[in-house]
Amino acid sequence: MATKNLFEYAILHQPKATRDAQGNDTTPDTTILKPITPVLAACENDVKILAARAIDEKHLQHLDEVVIIVRPL
């Protein structure tokens, strides 16, 4: 069995920049979809897979705006 290490991940939604008719920035703020979550995994790629599976279904249509952040502990 492979040795597992402790990691943390968080999932953010960072909407794309948009402008209104007058040219004002109307981009919504970044929001946290999944707060910092500890997980045991063999490597960072395994953590990214686990995090990707935790993304709520309603965000799957705009994955280009979803960011997964991983850090080892």
Per-residue pLDDT for 2 more than 80? no
Segment 47-58, tens digit of pLDDT: 999 999 999 999
Residue with tokens 């994955």: 63
Say how many domains are in the chain: 1
3-state secondary structure 2-37: CCCEEEEEEEEECCCCCECCCCCECCCCCEEEEEEE
What pLDDT shows up at residue 17?
Answer: 82
* pLDDT tens readout for residues 16-72: 888 777 878 778 899 999 999 999 999 999 999 999 999 999 999 999 999 999 999
Domain span at residue 30 reads: 5-16+24-72
Checking if the pLDDT of 7 tops 80, the result is: yes
Phi/psi at 63 (5° precision): -65, -20
